Amino acid sequence: MEHTSGILKKLAKPILALYPLFPVPVYFSVLTGYPPILLSLIIAIIPLGVYYWQTKRIVRRTPFDIPILIFLCGSLVGFIVAPDKNVASGALSSTMASVLVYYGITTNGSASRKYWVWVGGTICVITLLLSLWFLSQGDHRVLVFNRWLFELFFGLPKTPGPVLQWNTIGALLVVVIPPLFVFAFFNTRKNLRIIALVLCLFFTGMLFFSDSGAGWLAFIIGLVFILVYWRRWLFWVLIPVAGLLSGAAAIFHGRTKWLSTTFSTTSIFGRIRLWENTFNLLKGKAAVMGLGLGNWFKVYNSHYNNVIPIVHDSFLQIYCDTGVFGFIAMVLGAVIFMALSMKFIRSSRGSSVNWIGIGLIGSIIAGAVFAIFDVTTSITYVTDTSYIYLVLPLFWIGVALVSVATRLDKVPN
């Protein structure tokens, strides 16, 4: 018995260190059917049991625990309401996996600097691989300024299955670039600054060549937040500059093909009609319960006879999935996020953790702006016979890192 206990103690540390990776098989199970979903869920909760064995607590407390609990209640309601339980079960499983990714990161909140370099490096490597995948396999919007880049990868063999679209890669890049920008210009370690600068420049170039108009707008707003925090007087410079650029874009919009394509008025009005139609569906019982977890695609297309996979607004998508519970969770989470942000803004700028926190806040702001125009919290993959609704962990990772930075900012050195 003592021998078994000793083995468990030795395994506990690496298991908890790898906690954020344990839920990953769940996403593959929902998307491909392998490994079996039950096996993936068992693997995902292993660190949960290890943490309880060590601390007699299910999770480590964080500022967002109550919104998460309310959101999970909304997800359960959405599962009950949803008529297609196969789709809803995949959505619920990937939702739980995303929550476990969140707690996998926050559980390691007191880990060493090397651990967080490893976490950041892993995120950057994943982003780099997905960027290269987009160049070679993605759904491109080829224009005069990016044609040469896509032609370099044109000859590579294509793979079957879902591919990245320009706004998909844009959503990822806008939340990765702000922390890298802060690392590159405000970190004290030279080696990390050089690596961060190279990655920041590469990812910024990728965002530009992707031609994601929503990504460009979100990136600028996230970057402006960081620059204004650095030097308050820049606010009075950047605002008129933004006004001049907006005016120039409006003047040349109809005269420049790539500009009218990137910021298409047809696309904008199409989204507005999509949102209006969705609000028409959210009446009566649906106004409280939502449309059912992962069920927006089926309900919308049955009413309007259009094959549209997403509602093009993350906040509206969450409301459709989780109803009033999800709305309350979003509002409460936003209030908590703003309170934490104010603590970072008012705290000492000499702390490297504080600067990382500002970068993460810029990341969340950029992601929230992008989420107004597209769904970044989930994907709907339409198959020949049905569709797969997969909740993504992107938002959960960002919020988890903000929670960790809040805790570390209180720790000297």
Reported confidence tier of residue 90, pLDDT bands at 50, 70, 90: very high
10 Å Cβ neighbour count for 293?
Answer: 31
**Is the predicted pLDDT of residue 5 greater than 70, yes or no?**
no
Count CB-CB contacts under 10 A for residue 69: 13
Cα-based distances in Å from 373 to 153, 189, 273, 370 = 29, 37, 13, 6
pLDDT exceeds 50 at position 413: no
348: pLDDT strictly greater than 70: no
Taking the alpha carbons of 75, 76, 81, 83 in that order, is the dihedral positive or negative? Answer: positive
Per-residue pLDDT for 112 more than 80?
yes
Q: Are 389 and 86 in contact (CB under 8 A)?
A: no
The pLDDT of residue 225: 95
Residue 399 token pair: 């919020």
Q: pLDDT tens digits for 64-73? A: 999 999 999 9
Q: Single out the residue of 348, 286, 278, 341 nearest to residue 311, CA to CA.
A: 278
3-state SS class at 231: coil
Distance between CA atoms of residues 309 and 382, nearest Å: 7
- What per-residue confidence (pLDDT) applies to 410? 54
pLDDT of the residue at 158: 74
pLDDT of amino acid 409: 54
Asked if residue 35 has a cis previous peptide bond (ω within 30° of 0), the answer is: yes
Determine what percent of the chain is predicted with pLDDT higher than 90.
Answer: 66
Question: Mean pLDDT, to the nearest integer, of 104-112?
Answer: 91
Which residue would you say has higher pLDDT here, 191 or 24? 24
- Interval 203-225 mean pLDDT: 95
The whole-number pLDDT of residue 349 equals: 65
Confidence of residue 346 (pLDDT cuts 50, 70, 90): confident
- In the predicted model, what is the mean pLDDT of the chain? 90
Distances (CA, A) of 128 to 135, 136, 211, 227: 11, 13, 17, 25
Residue 156 and residue 135: Cα distance in Å, rounded? Answer: 10
Cβ-based neighbours of 331, under 8 Å, separated by 6 or more: none
- Is the per-residue pLDDT at 191 higher than 90? no
Q: d(Cα 257, Cα 262) in Å, to the nearest integer? A: 9
> Residue 121 carries which DSSP code?
H
Give the three-class secondary structure for 383. Answer: coil
At which residue do the structure tokens 């999800």 appear?
A: 326
* C-alpha to C-alpha distance for 172 and 207, rounded to whole angstroms: 9
The dihedrals phi and psi of 238, each to the nearest 5 degrees, come to -70, -30
Q: What is the DSSP letter of 59?
A: S
Query: Does residue 384 have a pLDDT over 80?
Result: no
Whole-angstrom Cα Rg for the chain:
22
Per-residue pLDDT tens digits for 283-304? 999 999 999 999 999 999 999 9
Mean local confidence (pLDDT), 188-196: 83
CB 409 within 8 A of CB 109: no
Give the Cα separation of 77 and 87 in Å (integer).
14
pLDDT (0 to 100) of residue 50:
93
| Choice among 25-29, 133-137, 199-203, 348-352 with the minimum mean pLDDT | 348-352
pLDDT band at 350 (very low <50, low <70, confident <90, very high): low
Alpha helix positions (H), 108-212:
113-137, 147-152, 166-186, 190-210
What is the CA angle 411-412-413, rounded to 5?
Answer: 115
pLDDT for the residue 4: 56
- What local confidence, expressed as pLDDT, does residue 253 receive? 83
Determine the 3-state secondary structure of 392 from DSSP.
Answer: coil
243-273: pLDDT as tens digits:
898 888 888 888 888 888 888 888 999 999 9
| Per-residue burial over 252-286, b = 16 or more CB atoms within 10 Å of its CB, e = otherwise | eeeeeeebebbbeeeeeeebeebeeebeebbeeeb
pLDDT of 192 reads 83
For 389, the enclosing helix (H) or strand (E) is: strand 387-391
pLDDT of 294 reads 95
Residue 412 is predicted with a pLDDT of 45
On the question of pLDDT at 24 being above 70, the answer is yes
Helix (H, G, I), strand (E, B) or coil at 46: helix
- At 155-165, the pLDDT tens digits run 777 777 677 88
Q: How large a percentage of the chain has pLDDT more than 70?
A: 95
Cα(91)–Cα(179) distance, integer angstroms: 29
- For residue 121, the tally of other CB atoms under 10 A from its CB is 13
pLDDT at 330 over 80: yes
